[in-house]
Amino acid sequence: MNLYDAEPAEPAAADPAPAYRGPRAAPGCGQMAGVFALFGVGALALVLAAVAWGLYQRGQGLLQRADELMSEGPRIALPSILPTPRPSPTPYLETTQVMAQRLRGASELTLAIYSLDTVTSASQDRKLGELTIGSTELLYVAHGQVRAGIELAEIGAEDMQVEAGRLIVRLPAPRILDRKIDVDKSYVYDVDRSLFGPIDPSLQSQAEQHALEQVLRSACEGGILAQANERGALAVEKLLETAGYDEVVVITRPASPGECPPSLTATPAAPVATPASP
């Protein structure tokens, strides 16, 4: 057989190309992360154990110290367990100068108020020589008020003294502090004027003055100054209760005779003079 006549041999089949699977992770990374996690947990457990041991040792020391203090007897005080009782405060006593200044600060003390509605009149005549030829009369309804009290500004240190734990206070005499006619509640009720009667605007002022005198007289007869004395003693006693004394004694004084005159008479209105005819 001729070599040249032989059939050519078939080429060998090539191996198939491997499939692409992407980049591979470096070997050993997962194992290293797990090792570090174990180390962290172990370190945290050691720290917690150390803290717990320290607290335990401290508690043991406190208990041992408490046992030592208790074994030393009652001479050692334990402020955190048995607090020392506070001493009772020393009572504070105000001096007479301080108390007098306190009372003077109240200045005027109104203790009694008297109100009265009254009807009064004022009249005026017109004369010709000795002959009355005309007249005018005014009726006035007045609302008056009187206030009585004590001037605390007049109290001095000499009006106070201390005897055996008692405070003795002498009050000034009661006074009429104010008297007035309330013009908003007062009015002219009637005016009676004859043919030749005078026209005088001052008649209303005269009627108001007469009414004020009547209100003052009625207040004095009703004992307004005595009421002011009684209420003044109670008020000052209450004001000085906190001064620190065992007892407060208030001594009042009688009112001055000039505060309530025994007789108040109205001043008659002056007549209007008319020159005589020639």
H-helix or E-strand spanning residue 109: strand 108-128
Determine if the pTM surpasses 0.85: no
Tell me the pLDDT tens digit for each residue of 62-97.
667 656 655 655 444 444 444 455 555 444 445 656
pLDDT grade, residue 4 (50/70/90)? very low
Per-residue pLDDT, averaged over 4-20, amounts to 50
Tell me the pLDDT tens digit for each residue of 245-275.
888 899 999 999 888 867 543 333 333 333 3
Contact 179, 145 (CB under 8 A): yes
Per-residue pLDDT, averaged over 187-207, amounts to 87
Q: What is the strand order of the sheet 166-170 is part of? A: 160-163, 166-170, 247-251
Tell me the pLDDT tens digit for each residue of 200-217.
888 999 999 999 999 999
